[in-house]
């Protein structure tokens, strides 16, 4: 009981610490969004934005304060959803629950892809992960024994080198996170020249048809190689899963 309490408290404190930067960013972004509203009431800017109306630019064309606010709110909701569902996945004791929460995480991640103007990747994520990998995971679990689903029966082994204590793993993970976040903040985005293009200006480039054209021209060889690779993986998986038959 006490252990459960400590685990839950640790989860809450950890998620609060993790969400704090995002919360600060949310506040700053909201203020900035409200500040920039005047800019979009300028008729010249409005007509420029209207020419790219088709793709994800509803927030530029309207200039409506509520819609911009909602756009950001939904994005940060997806961010919080991704992280909290990932934490729940790690802390769940039941394996089937963990797998289902994992797929909810993948759904939330596909929401992030939509916000990043990548519709096709979002749909691919949903179709392949949830259509393919979820079924694989569940079949894998259902075909196996009942003991596999009970994670508590697996926790009684002695600790060896490959398997760290939760605290040590947490320290390593958090230090890696600090390193990454520090690096992202240190990185000067202005020094990357190809990122100076305006995402609104090349909104037309994000059409699905452009991905198809690129796959059939520039990326034709990787495309074919990955097709052969997929066939290899399929044959390999079914070979591994075969029934043992005595030939002799």
Partner 1 sequence: MLIDIQCYLIVSSILFSIGIYAFLTKRNVVMMLIGIEFMINAAIINFVAFSKYDSNNEGQIMAIFIIIMAAAGVAVALAIILNLYKHYKTIDPNQVHELGEK
36 binds partner 1 (CB under 8 A): yes
113 binds partner 1 (CB under 8 A): yes
> How large is the C-alpha radius of gyration of the chain?
24
Q: Decide whether 9 or 171 has the Cβ nearer to partner 1.
A: 171
Residues 6+ apart with CB under 8 A from 152: 93
One residue of 83, 100, 104, 107 binding partner 1 per CB under 8 A: 83
The interface with partner 1 within residues 160-199 (CB under 8 A) comprises 160, 162-166, 168-170, 172-174, 176-177, 180-181, 184-185, 189, 194-195, 197, 199
- The C-alpha atoms of residue 243 and residue 180 are separated, in whole angstroms, by 46
Alpha helix ranges (H) inside the chain? 2-35, 37-40, 43-50, 58-62, 65-91, 95-115, 119-124, 134-143, 146-149, 166-186, 208-216, 220-240
One residue of 13, 214, 216, 220 binding partner 1 per CB under 8 A: 214
Q: Which of 157, 129, 166, 147 is nearest to 7 (CA)?
A: 166
30 binds partner 1 (CB under 8 A): no
Q: Give the nearest distance from C-beta 177 to partner 1 in angstroms.
A: 4
One residue of 18, 73, 77, 104 binding partner 1 per CB under 8 A: 18
One residue of 16, 31, 128, 216 binding partner 1 per CB under 8 A: 128
82 binds partner 1 (CB under 8 A): yes
């Amino acid at each position: 009981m006490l252990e459960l309490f400590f685990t839950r408290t640790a989860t809450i404190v950890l998620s609060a610490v993790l969400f704090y930067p995002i919360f600060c960013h949310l506040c700053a972004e909201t203020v900035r969004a409200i500040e920039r509203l005047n800019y979009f009431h300028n008729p010249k800017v409005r007509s420029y934005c209207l020419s790219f109306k088709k793709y994800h630019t509803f927030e530029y064309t309207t200039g409506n304060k509520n819609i911009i606010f909602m756009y950001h709110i939904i994005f940060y909701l997806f961010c919080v959803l991704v992280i909290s569902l990932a934490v729940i996945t790690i802390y769940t004791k039941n394996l089937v629950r963990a797998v289902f929460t994992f797929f909810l995480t993948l759904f939330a991640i596909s929401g992030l892809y939509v916000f990043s103007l990548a519709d096709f990747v979002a749909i691919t994520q949903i179709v392949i992960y949830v259509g393919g990998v979820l079924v694989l995971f569940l079949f894998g679990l259902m075909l196996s024994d009942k003991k596999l689903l009970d994670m508590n029966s697996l926790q009684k082994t002695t600790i060896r080198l490959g398997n760290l204590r939760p605290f040590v793993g947490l320290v390593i993970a958090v230090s890696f996170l600090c390193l990454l976040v520090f690096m992202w903040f240190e990185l000067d985005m202005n020094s990357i020249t190809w990122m100076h293009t305006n995402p609104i200006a090349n909104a037309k480039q994000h059409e699905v048809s452009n991905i198809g054209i690129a796959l059939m021209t520039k990326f034709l060889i990787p495309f074919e190689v990955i097709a052969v690779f997929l066939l290899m993986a399929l044959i390999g998986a079914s070979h591994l899963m075969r029934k043992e038959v005595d030939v002799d």
